[in-house]
């Protein structure tokens, strides 16, 4: 579901074969950047489906646009709903490309446009987005709802999580929790890192504590937070996966395994590398936890390709002792 890259915080330098990225810099590709101005012009002329096609073509020839794709797809979804009041019709034109950013953007814009939080209405919109045939679209919509709720409650994370709790099933609430934490951690990093404008009220992330902010959250929310703690840790260690996994080894509260999943999630989603590379990075950690890193990668890959082929190809390549963990979980 989610993940491939954190919204608003994008890796602008690819890792070399040793997995290290000294001097990594951060930037965004804005909607008015000449590289993607044509994509947004297509949105205004022909709608979100054609705009996503245009974004895919541009990403195929520009690695920075590729790495920024999830954020840009978010922006397409937000702008598409601004031009069209029927959220179900707009979300029906989204596709799971760029980690389903279009779905997330439409839902965020829907929450903002309503001017109020009507969870029953929002849940009905998400259910309609799948039209009874696409549970993945519904899940992505629920994830996007978490993003949008956080903004609607002025970045009050506990309040956003409580709204998520009102959804009708555990998978829906989990997807919503994860969307809220993804948004909160992104904004927290932007506020603490000095690379973006500060966001008033954003979740506090202590740069001296590699387990901040997730050590502060208990069940039933902790697992959703720790899925993204791996990104925080990777950023702090210069995007060295082996070092990140070693930091995870010390995670408090028995969260080392989930921390490994968070790192694996980003290895697959953020770095956009081949399966053998992901497997090699997961193998840098403790042998007994390496399958958990792989499980996080599977979660990210399942969000990228709803047909399941990407996951099947990856799982066929993992060591036999990892196979039991090679299944999609939330």
Query: What is the residue-level pLDDT of the chain in tens, covering all 330 positions?
Result: 444 333 333 332 223 323 322 222 223 577 678 888 899 999 999 998 999 999 999 988 888 888 788 788 888 988 888 766 677 778 778 887 887 788 778 877 877 777 778 888 888 888 887 766 678 888 888 888 888 888 888 889 999 999 999 998 999 999 999 999 998 998 888 776 544 444 555 688 998 999 999 999 999 999 999 999 999 999 999 999 999 999 999 999 999 999 999 999 999 988 878 999 999 999 999 999 999 999 999 999 988 888 889 999 999 999 999 998 887 665
Q: What confidence score (pLDDT) does residue 105 get?
A: 83
- For residues 268-286, one letter each, b for 16 or more C-beta atoms within 10 angstroms of the residue's C-beta and e for the rest, the string is bbbbbbebebbbbbbbbbe
Containing structural domain, residue 19? 1-204
134 and 226 belong to one structural domain: no
Q: What confidence score (pLDDT) does residue 193 get?
A: 56
137: CB partners within 8 A, 6+ apart? 91, 94, 96, 103, 129, 130
Long-range contacts of 168-173 (CB under 8 A, 24+ apart): 168/123, 171/139, 171/142, 171/330, 172/123, 172/126, 172/138, 172/139, 172/142
Q: At what angle do helices 37-46 and 48-61 cross, to 10 degrees?
A: 160
Q: What confidence score (pLDDT) does residue 39 get?
A: 92
24 and 115 belong to one structural domain: yes
216 and 236 belong to one structural domain: yes
Q: What is the 3-state secondary structure (H, E, C) of 259-322?
A: HHHHHHHHHHHCCCCCHHHHHHHHCCCCCCCHHHHHHHHHHHHHHHCCCCHHHHHHHHHCCHHH
H or E element that contains 34: none
162: tokens are 């409580």
268 and 134 belong to one structural domain: no
- Comparing CA positions, the residue from 106, 103, 100, 27 lying closest to residue 63 is 27
230 and 167 belong to one structural domain: no
194 and 213 belong to one structural domain: no
21 and 133 belong to one structural domain: yes
90: CB partners within 8 A, 6+ apart? 48, 77, 80, 81, 84, 106
State which of 152, 169, 204 marks the end of a domain. 204
318 and 192 belong to one structural domain: no
Q: What confidence score (pLDDT) does residue 84 get?
A: 67
- Three-class DSSP category at 6: strand
Q: What confidence score (pLDDT) does residue 98 get?
A: 81
Q: What confidence score (pLDDT) does residue 127 get?
A: 86
State which of 176, 204, 232 marks the end of a domain. 204
Q: How many domains does the chain have?
A: 2
161 and 292 belong to one structural domain: no
152 and 254 belong to one structural domain: no
277: CB partners within 8 A, 6+ apart? 267, 271
State which of 151, 181, 204 marks the end of a domain. 204
218 and 123 belong to one structural domain: no
Q: What confidence score (pLDDT) does residue 248 get?
A: 98
136 and 284 belong to one structural domain: no
């Amino acid at each position: 579901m989610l993940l491939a890259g954190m919204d608003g915080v994008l890796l602008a330098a690819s890792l070399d074969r040793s997995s290290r990225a000294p001097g990594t810099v951060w930037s965004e590709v804005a909607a008015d950047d000449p590289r993607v101005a044509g994509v947004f012009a297509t949105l205004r002329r022909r709608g979100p489906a054609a705009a996503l096609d245009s974004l895919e073509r541009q990403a195929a020839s520009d690695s920075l646009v590729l790495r920024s794709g999830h954020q840009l797809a978010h922006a397409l979804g937000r702008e598409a709903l601004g031009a069209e009041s029927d959220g179900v019709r707009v979300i029906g034109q989204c596709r799971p490309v760029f980690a389903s950013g279009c779905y997330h953007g439409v839902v965020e814009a829907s929450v903002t446009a309503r001017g109020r939080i009507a969870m029953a209405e929002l849940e009905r919109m998400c259910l309609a987005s799948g039209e009874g045939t696409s549970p993945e679209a519904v899940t992505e919509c629920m994830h996007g709802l978490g993003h949008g709720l956080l903004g609607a409650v002025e970045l009050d994370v506990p309040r956003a999580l409580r709204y998520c709790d009102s959804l009708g099933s555990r998978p829906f609430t989990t997807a919503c929790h994860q969307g809220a934490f993804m948004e909160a951690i992104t904004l927290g990093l932007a506020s603490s890192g000095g690379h973006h404008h500060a966001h008033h009220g954003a979740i506090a992330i202590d740069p001296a504590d590699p387990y901040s902010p997730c050590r502060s959250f208990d069940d039933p929310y902790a697992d959703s937070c720790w899925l993204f703690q791996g990104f925080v840790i990777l950023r702090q260690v210069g995007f060295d996966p082996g070092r990140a996994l070693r930091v995870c080894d010390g995670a408090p509260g028995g969260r080392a395994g989930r921390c490994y999943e968070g790192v694996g999630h980003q290895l697959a989603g953020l770095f956009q590398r081949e399966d053998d590379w992901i497997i090699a990075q997961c193998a840098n950690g403790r042998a007994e936890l390496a399958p958990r890193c792989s499980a996080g990668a599977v979660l990210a890959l399942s969000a990228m390709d709803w047909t399941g082929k990407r996951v099947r190809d990856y799982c066929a390549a993992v060591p036999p002792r990892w196979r039991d963990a090679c299944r999609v979980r939330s």
